[in-house]
Amino acid sequence: MDADHDTSISGREARVNAEFQKRQTQLFTRFALAEASVLALAVLAIFVLKLVELETGILILLGIAVLSGVVLTGLLMRTIRARQQALAQARGEAGSIW
């Protein structure tokens, strides 16, 4: 019996873990691409086109970094909660884990 058709608790947990690992990898990849695009545009506007002063540009880059960190943390927390709920469901546990 392979892991895809294993109906035991450990088999269900393995499928949940594999699915959420795939989702987390996609999340990191998409987030990195979006972040790189935003930062590249900001660097272009600040250092190449000189649309804002250097001090202001540095603050803008810092703001982008902080905002990105907050957004990524929120996305990861949501993914972790969903994974924990899916694992609880795979184990047959009732009720909310939070």
Question: Would you say 35 and 49 are in contact if contact means Cβ atoms under 8 Å apart?
Answer: no
pLDDT, tens digit, 9 for 90 and up, residues 25-46:
999 999 999 999 999 999 999 9
Contacts of 51 (CB under 8 A, 6+ apart): 45
pLDDT digits (tens, 9 = 90+) for 2-14: 556 778 989 999 9
Question: pTM (2 decimals)?
Answer: 0.81
DSSP state of 44: I
Q: Cβ(60)–Cβ(42) under 8 Å?
A: yes
* Alpha carbons 11 and 2: distance in angstroms, whole number: 9
